A and B are shown apart, each in its own frame.
Chain A
Amino acid sequence: MSKLHFITDGFVKNNPTFVLVLGMCPTLATTTSAMNGLEMGLATMFVLILSNIVISLVAPMVPDKVRIPVYITVIATFVTVLQLLMQAFTPAVYETLGLFIPLIVVNCIVLGRAEGFANKHSVGESALDGIGVGLGFTLSLTVIGIVREILGSGAVFGWKFIQGDGILAFVMAPGAFLVLGYLMVLFNKYLAKK
């Protein structure tokens, strides 16, 4: 079971949000509620797993000088497929996440894992890495979403526990930065203790 560590690494050691500090744009923009954060994380994980698998398959055959355009094309293909699938079967989620679905193409996590991991490891390991980092990203987004939703709307996953609005700054721009900053402090403290 030595390969399972590829998955668990993505949660703490290689957490894309708090350790690698990658994929910041969707992290800040789509975490206005726990559900949005969860959905964005899963969408990114979908692309991440598929692109990791395909890139680790084709990496031996791709000449070094054209590898970045090739990786980008592969990732863009999967993002387009995801866009089409979401428009067809989950249109409400697609509208909420808006611009950030096509932006998965330039999400540094996806290209970063392709360039830094998938092209040097086997298909199985790349898939596991995709799952691990994807789950780590989803977890981070969901946690940030939960905090912002509790503070900003007084709700969690849509279930409101106060009347009226919360501290609205948290569902708007400033709240994203502040929550991420403070959560990073907590994460660092947790890592320092280990």
Chain B
Amino acid sequence: MATASTLKNMALCLTAVCLICSAVVGGAYALTKDPIDAAAQAKTTASIAAVLPAFEGVPEQGTVDVNGTEYTYYKAEGAGYAVISTTSGFGGALTLMVGIDTAGVVHNTTVLSHSETPGLGAKCTTDTHFMEQFQGFDPAAKSLAVKKDGGDVDAITASTITSRAYALAVSNAVNVYHQLAGGQSNE
């Protein structure tokens, strides 16, 4: 039923398949490129809006180098800066979007991605007590370290490492803010 496996047939068939499949994939890519970009943009805008006070217009994106690490930030006119900060959690990278308003106070934080243990470190996205303590956190008045390390952050029960990573991520974001806003680095 199938055609003979001669060299000519095989080469023709493979070439035809490659050409057709490339066309299909290329076509799908061209069709979906804009929606994909739009979806990614919407996600970023939503997380920026979640961590900063209300603002108008589109936040301006930029990157800055602080202490050897490159950070991506978004400047929202009149509202402050949203910085993407990544640290090493318990199970892998922990990435936060930290919103710092024009007064240098942490307005809010949101987790963009994590690989923490369910029921323990993963509570960094559900434990309201833990998350709410970062809302309106003034780094000039309080220390961004867990209470165990002499700071003012209440860690998640039995998840010190995750909590430390979270606090460190926020602290790094504050340093980035200071560099951007022209102030001095937070010790």
Residues of B near A58 (CB, < 8 A) are 17
With A69-B14, A77-B21, A80-B25 in contact, is A64–B32 under 8 Å at CB? no
Least CB distance, A47 to chain B, in whole angstroms: 13
> Residue B24 contacts which of A62, A81, A91 (CB distance < 8 angstroms)?
A81
User: Considering residues A85, A88, A172, which has the most beta carbons from chain B within 10 angstroms of its beta carbon?
Assistant: A88
Interface string of A158-194 (1 = CB under 8 A from B): 0000000100100110000000000000000000000
Main secondary structure of the interface of B (DSSP, over half): helix
With A63-B10, A70-B13 in contact, is A171–B118 under 8 Å at CB? yes
Interface size for chain B: under 10, 10 to 19, 20 to 34, or 35 or more residues?
20 to 34
> Residue A91 contacts which of B1, B10, B25, B40 (CB distance < 8 angstroms)?
B40
Residues of A near B18 (CB, < 8 A) are 73
User: Quick one: which of A58-114 are within 8 Å of B by CB?
Assistant: 58-67, 69-70, 73-74, 76-77, 80-81, 84-85, 87-89, 91
Least CB distance, A31 to chain B, in whole angstroms: 14
With A77-B21, A168-B119 in contact, is A63–B28 under 8 Å at CB? no
Extra 16 A-B pairs, beta carbons < 8 Å, given A63-B3, A84-B31: A62-B2, A63-B2, A63-B6, A63-B10, A66-B5, A70-B14, A77-B21, A77-B24, A88-B32, A88-B36, A89-B35, A89-B39, A91-B36, A165-B118, A171-B118, A172-B118
Instruction: Give 9 closest A-B pairs by Cβ, nearest first.
Output: A88-B35, A63-B5, A88-B32, A168-B119, A77-B21, A65-B5, A84-B32, A81-B28, A91-B39
